[in-house]
């Protein structure tokens, strides 16, 4: 089964971003993709002060509806990173006092990965657990928690046409525990929709993606934002890629400028995955008698 891993440069306009995302989806579907993976914050990237209003805008609701429609029209599953207002889903459990207080006080949102089925219905959502609050010497200062509420749980590994998916997002990549937990829960394919910074991307992106694939013996699919986001100081690293369970980079988007909405295709071969796990049975070789395991 073919998975398409997308790369684009989101703006502050959800409807323009919808157009870019749909152009990836329609071309990927025509190329035979069964599922299309889009970056973190595909709906918009904008200055922090604009995030609360944009998250709750009619344009942003139209963005998600447009993707549901594209999933149905093209018959593909879609994973997409969005800004999600609290209590937007009936199953929402964010009723505790702290979260209620936070959302009223600051209008924060969740950084959510939404999985849409090929019938256009929502299948799963995952809210980013680890927020990117960093202040690195040399200029980089981002406080994601200014605009975002951290999720409080992993989401169950979920069936898709390209295998059982374990959903994670961007900065989560730096924490091996959730990837191991999802592997233990049955995941075969880990997703990391991202918007890595250029500096940290150059230093860590590919190494971390390959490490997570090697440790978990899962495919890793990492859609990515790329280039300068208009109206902000943010520049994203791109290098959207797919890694196989042996750690090989099997597909990668072009780094050629000017950046266009693009994708790369990866064949997800679950027989190969089983072979990797059989040849080197890491899971059975762990030593819980010596150290604690997930």
Residue 142 is a binding residue for ligand KGT (CB under 6 A) = yes
Pairwise CA distance, residues 258 & 255, whole Å? 9
Cβ pair 195, 225 in contact under 8 A: yes
Near ligand KGT by CB under 6 A, which window of 70-78, 85-93, 168-176, 185-193?
168-176
Q: Nearest 5°: CA angle at 265, between 263 and 267?
A: 160
Interface residue with ligand KGT among 78, 190, 195, 218 (CB under 6 A) is 195
The span of 40-48, 58-66, 92-100, 260-268 binding ligand KGT (CB under 6 A) equals: 40-48
Which tokens sit at 31?
Answer: 């190329």
For the bound state, the minimum distance from the C-beta of residue 73 to ligand KGT, rounded and expressed in Å, comes to: 27
Q: Provide the pairing of β-strand 224-228 with 2-8.
A: parallel
- Contact between 170 and ligand KGT per CB under 6 A: yes
- Does the footprint of ligand KGT cover residue 200 (CB under 6 A)? yes
Place of tokens 């344009």: 59
Residue of the chain from 63, 110, 126, 132 that contacts ligand KGT (CB under 6 A): 132
By C-alpha distance, which of 174, 278, 165, 152 is closest to 219? 165
Q: What is the DSSP string of 189-217?
A: EEE--B--BHHHIIIIIHHHHHHHHHHHT
The question of whether 109 is a catalytic residue gets the answer no
CA geometry: angle 200, 244, 125, nearest 5 deg: 70
What is d(CA 266, CA 162) in angstroms, rounded to the nearest whole number? Answer: 10
Catalytic residue among 9, 77, 103, 128, which?
128
- Smaller CB separation from ligand KGT, 128 or 277: 128
Q: Is 84 a catalytic residue?
A: no
Comparing CB distances to ligand KGT, the nearer of 44 and 219 is 44
- Asked if 235 touches ligand KGT (CB under 6 A), the answer is no
Instruction: With CA atoms as reference, report the closest residue to 163 among 182, 144, 137, 139.
Output: 182
Whichever of 76 and 173 has its CB closer to ligand KGT, that residue is 173
Taking CB under 6 A as the binding criterion, the range among 154-162, 190-198, 242-250, 278-286 that sits at the site for ligand KGT is 190-198
In the three-class reduction of DSSP (H, G, I as helix; E, B as strand; rest coil), residue 265 is classed as strand
Nearer to ligand KGT, 144 or 244 (CB): 144
Q: By C-alpha distance, which of 202, 145, 143, 201 is closest to 173?
A: 201
Determine if 197 is a binding residue for ligand KGT (CB under 6 A).
yes
CB of 124 to ligand KGT, least distance (A): 20
Does residue 84 belong to the site contacting ligand KGT (CB under 6 A)? no
In the residue annotation, 40 being an active-site residue is answered as: yes
> How many CB atoms within 10 Å of residue 257?
9
Cβ-proximal residues to 20 (8 Å cutoff; 6+ apart), any chain = 8, 9, 10, 261
Residue with nearest beta carbon to ligand KGT: 200
* Per annotation, catalytic residue among 9, 40, 218, 264: 40
Q: Give the residue numbers annotated as catalytic, written as ranges.
A: 40, 128, 170
Q: Contact positions toward ligand KGT, by CB under 6 A?
A: 40-41, 45, 111, 132, 142, 144, 170-171, 174, 195-197, 200
């Amino acid at each position: 089964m073919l998975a398409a891993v997308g790369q684009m440069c989101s703006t502050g306009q959800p409807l323009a971003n919808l157009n870019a995302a749909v152009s990836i989806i329609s071309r990927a579907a025509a190329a035979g993709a069964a599922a299309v993976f889009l970056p973190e914050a595909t709906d918009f990237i904008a200055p922090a002060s604009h995030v609360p209003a944009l998250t709750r805008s009619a344009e942003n609701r139209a963005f998600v509806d447009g993707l549901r429609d594209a999933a149905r029209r093209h018959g593909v599953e879609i994973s997409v990173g969005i800004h999600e207002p609290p209590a937007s889903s009936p199953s929402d459990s964010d009723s505790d006092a702290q979260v209620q207080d936070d959302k009223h006080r600051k209008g924060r949102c969740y950084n959510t990965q939404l999985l849409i089925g090929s019938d256009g219905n929502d299948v799963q959502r995952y809210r980013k657990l680890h927020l990117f609050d960093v202040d690195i010497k040399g200029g980089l200062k981002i406080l994601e928690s200014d605009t975002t509420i951290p999720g409080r749980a992993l989401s169950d590994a979920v069936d898709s046409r390209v295998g059982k998916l374990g959903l994670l997002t961007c900065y989560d990549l730096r924490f091996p525990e959730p990837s191991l937990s999802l592997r233990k829960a049955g995941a075969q394919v880990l997703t990391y929709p991202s918007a890595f910074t250029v500096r940290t991307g150059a230093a860590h992106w590919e190494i971390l993606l390959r490490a997570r694939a090697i440790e978990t013996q899962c495919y890793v699919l990492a859609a990515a934002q790329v280039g300068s986001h208009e109206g902000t100081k943010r520049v994203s690293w791109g290098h959207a890629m797919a890694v196989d369970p042996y750690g090989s980079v099997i597909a990668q988007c072009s780094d050629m400028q000017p950046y266009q909405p693009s994708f790369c295709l990866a064949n997800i071969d679950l027989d190969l995955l089983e072979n990797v796990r059989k040849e080197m049975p890491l899971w059975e070789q762990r030593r819980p008698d010596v150290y604690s395991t997930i």
